[in-house]
Amino acid sequence: MKASEGPEPAGRWLLIGNSRWHWAEGGAERLRCWSEPPPAATPPKAPPPAPPPSGAGMADPITGWITAWAAVGPGVAASGLDPRTRLTLEHVPLGNLPPWLGIDRALVGWQAWSDSQGPVLVADAGTALSLTRVDGAGRFAGGRLLAGAALQWRALAEGTVGLPAIPLNGPLDGEPWPERTAEALRTGVLRGLAAAVQAAWQEALQVDRRCGLWITGGDGPALGALLGQPCDGQLALRALAGLRPERGR
Ligand SMILES: Nc1ncnc2c1ncn2[C@@H]1O[C@H](COP(=O)(O)OP(=O)(O)OP(=O)(O)O)[C@@H](O)[C@H]1O
Ligand SMILES: CC(C)(CO)[C@@H](O)C(=O)NCCC(=O)O
């Protein structure tokens, strides 16, 4: 974990995604965020930092100390995280939240709605691309789920005879009709996801013409560039830090 080297930050938050762990450090006003593979894949090399004197977090052998955390799905029993500092759906003050909704969707929906104070559609381009709609009154209003970019590339490489695996974060040079296979895969999947987001937004605008589009997630910058829209990569972590600024509160 790349914890800060200066004075202890006011808080440290963790969102466990489908493929990666997403961290934030700092105060609610200013967060430093980064993502890394789950610790089982890369055991920490250094001993965890000591908990801060204020007792704002729990010492933990894997994570050091954290103020609050959230996880997509239940599968973190072995992580050693303190269940008392876990943020769950009941802490997210949106209306109409079904009990099966992913916490990442609730968090991004909450932050986008509370920043806009109006209806929003959030495209979270992670392992899955989730589209989450929140109406003007702050109620969850449905969404859509698609396979995310890396998952599509992996499925194509595994499910065909001739298609190669391609590196993540490769260049997208703007050519809409590439000749080479790797570029055709990159362009096809990312433009396909961008088109799905654009179409969903147009349909959401038909329900409420004030609906704002928010883009986040690991592929958010690429989709934002294709759609000419900004990407807010910190949406979920800002929500987590804002809703649980201190341990247990
Ligand atoms: N270093 C990286 N490792 C993994 N994915 C990356 C990396 N850089 C960019 N990506 C892109 O990010 C996407 C995954 O996004 P993200 O890391 O937000 O997913 P996640 O941790 O599973 O979160 P979520 O639970 O929201 O899906 C992939 O489709 C991939 O193309
Ligand atoms: C949709 C994902 C996989 C996106 O990370 C996650 O939010 C999840 O597992 N959700 C549970 C199902 C739902 O939100 O309807």
pLDDT of residue 101: 98
Least Cα distance to 33 among 20, 22, 42 occurs for 22
Which pLDDT band holds residue 214 (cuts at 50, 70, 90)? very high
Which pLDDT band holds residue 249 (cuts at 50, 70, 90)? low
d(CA 133, ligand 2 centre) in Å: 14
pLDDT of residue 169: 82
Quick check: CB of 217 below 6 Å from ligand 1?
A: yes
**What is the C-alpha separation between 108 and 234, in angstroms, rounded?**
9
How do 11-16 and 68-71 pair as beta strands?
parallel
The number of angstroms, rounded, from the C-alpha of 223 to the middle of its chain's C-alpha atoms is 14
Contact between 246 and 56 (Cβ < 8 Å): yes
Q: Which residue owns the Cα nearest ligand 2 atom 3?
A: 128
Question: Taking 70 as the threshold, does the pLDDT of residue 44 lie above it?
Answer: no
pLDDT of residue 58: 45
Q: Burial level of 238, CB count in 10 A (0-12/13-18/19+)? A: buried
Please indicate whether residue 135 is annotated as part of the active site: no
Q: What is the 3-state secondary structure (H, E, C) of the chain?
A: CCCCCCCCCCEEEEEECCCCEEEEEEECCEEEEEEECCCCCCCCCCCCCCCCCCCCCEEECCCEEECEEEECCCCCHHHCCCHHHECCHHHCCCECCCCCCCHHHHHHHHHHHHHHCCCEEEEEECCEEEEEEECCCCEEEEEEEEECHHHHHHHHHHHCCCCCCCCCCCCCCCCCCCCCHHHHHHHHHHHHHHHHHHHHHHHHHHHCCCCEEEEECCCHHHHHHHHCCCCCCCHHHHHHHHHCCCCCC
Mean of pLDDT values over 55-72: 70
Mean of pLDDT values over 139-153: 98
In Å, how far are 13, 161, 174 from 156, measured between CA atoms? 35, 9, 22
pLDDT of residue 57: 46
Please identify which of the residues 104, 124, 135, 232 carries the catalytic annotation. Answer: 104
User: Which has the minimum average pLDDT: 64-78, 84-98, 103-117, 158-172?
Assistant: 64-78
Those residues whose C-beta lies under 8 Å from the C-beta of residue 81, and which sit 6 or more positions away, are: 14, 60, 62, 63, 66, 69, 71
Which pLDDT band holds residue 64 (cuts at 50, 70, 90)? low
In the block, tokens 């599509």 appear at 152
pLDDT of residue 182: 96
Question: Taking 80 as the threshold, does the pLDDT of residue 43 lie above it?
Answer: no
**Mutate which of 88, 92, 100, 101 for ligand 2 pocket (most atoms within 8 A of beta carbon):** 101
- Amino acid letter, 29: E
d(CA 47, ligand 2 centre) in Å: 33
State what percent of residues in the chain have pLDDT above 70. 84
d(CA 158, ligand 1 centre) in Å: 19
Ligand 2 atom at minimum distance from 104 CA: 7
Least Cα distance to 77 among 33, 36, 136, 16 occurs for 16
Question: Taking 90 as the threshold, does the pLDDT of residue 4 lie above it?
Answer: no
Ligand showing the shortest atom-to-Cα distance for residue 169: 1
Report pTM. 0.90
